[in-house]
Amino acid sequence: MRIYLFGYLDDDFYGRVVLTPAEHTVADLAQQLVSWAPVTCRGALFVTNEAGAVLDPAATLDAAGLRNGDIFTVATAGEE
């Protein structure tokens, strides 16, 4: 099943709508959003939900509790 989510990068004020299979992992979702970034993101990626909780990168989107219309944010740990 596909779900739509609203994604933000921590250093970009534009939000993006992401349509993706619920079976993808949180790490897959982060990579999908970063691929549209205006600059190259370096370092580890962290995904948080609307409440600010860090999501397990290995969890599927369904297991992480992401549902249609949810907002997520991708942040980087910094330069490698």
Which sequence spans correspond to the domains of the chain? 25-64
**Contact between residue 12 and residue 41 where contact means Cβ atoms under 8 Å apart:** no
Mind listing the pLDDT tens digit for each residue in 50-64? 999 999 999 999 999
Structural tokens at position 34: 């970063």
Average pLDDT over residues 5-12: 88
In this prediction the pTM is: 0.87
Average pLDDT, integer, range 12-28: 91
